[in-house]
C-alpha cells in the first residue's frame, strides 16, 4: 500500500458522507461535492470512495438494483431497501442476533464464516402513508 496524502476533495467527500443520512450513489456524492469543487471529476469521486471503503472509513452497500451506495457510518448496522421508493434506510438490529445467525449458519456449513450481511425488504413508512 502506498502512502496517503491529504486531499481537499477527499476531505469533502468524507464530510458529505458523514453528514448525510441518505445512502448516496457515487453519482449523488459527485453532484454534492461539485458544489464545493465545481471541477471535481466523477473519476476522482470513484477513486476516493474506493479508497475510503478500503480504509474502512466508509461502507459500500450493494443494492439489488442499479449502482452501489455508500455509507459514512462504519458502525455495524443493517439496511432496509424500500421496494417502492428504492431508498435505503438504516435499520438497527441487536448485534447478538447477528452473531446468533452467524453461529446457526456455521453449524450447517463446511467452511469458515467471517461475517454476514442482511438486507431487509419491504415498504418504508413514507411510502405506506402515501398509499
Looking at beta carbons only, is 39 or 108 nearer to a second copy? 108
Position among 43, 56, 64, 111 found at the interface with DNA (CB under 7 A)? 43
Q: How far is CA 63 from CA 30, 89, 104, 109, 120, in A?
A: 18, 12, 25, 26, 11
68 belongs to the binding site for DNA (CB under 7 A)? yes
Looking at beta carbons only, is 86 or 97 nearer to DNA? 86
The sign of the CA dihedral 101, 106, 107, 110 is positive
Query: Which stretch in 36-44, 90-98, 101-109, 112-120 sits in contact with DNA by CB under 7 A?
Result: 36-44
Q: How far is CA 83 from CA 62, 64, 88, in A?
A: 15, 10, 9
Q: Which residues bind DNA (CB under 7 A)?
A: 2-10, 25-27, 37, 39-44, 46-48, 50-51, 66-68
Amino acid at each position: 500500500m502506498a502512502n496517503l496524502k491529504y486531499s481537499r476533495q477527499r476531505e469533502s467527500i468524507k464530510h458529505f458522507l458523514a453528514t448525510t443520512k441518505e445512502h448516496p450513489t457515487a453519482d449523488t456524492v459527485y453532484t454534492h461535492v461539485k458544489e464545493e469543487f465545481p471541477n471535481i471529476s466523477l473519476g476522482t469521486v470513484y477513486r476516493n470512495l474506493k479508497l475510503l471503503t478500503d480504509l474502512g472509513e466508509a461502507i459500500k452497500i450493494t443494492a439489488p438494483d442499479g449502482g452501489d451506495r455508500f455509507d459514512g457510518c462504519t458502525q455495524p448496522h443493517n439496511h432496509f431497501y424500500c421496494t417502492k421508493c428504492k431508498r435505503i434506510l438504516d435499520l438497527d438490529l441487536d448485534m447478538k442476533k447477528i452473531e446468533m445467525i452467524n453461529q446457526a449458519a456455521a453449524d450447517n456449513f463446511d467452511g469458515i464464516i467471517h461475517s454476514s450481511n442482511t438486507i431487509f425488504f419491504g415498504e418504508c413508512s413514507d411510502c405506506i402513508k402515501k398509499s
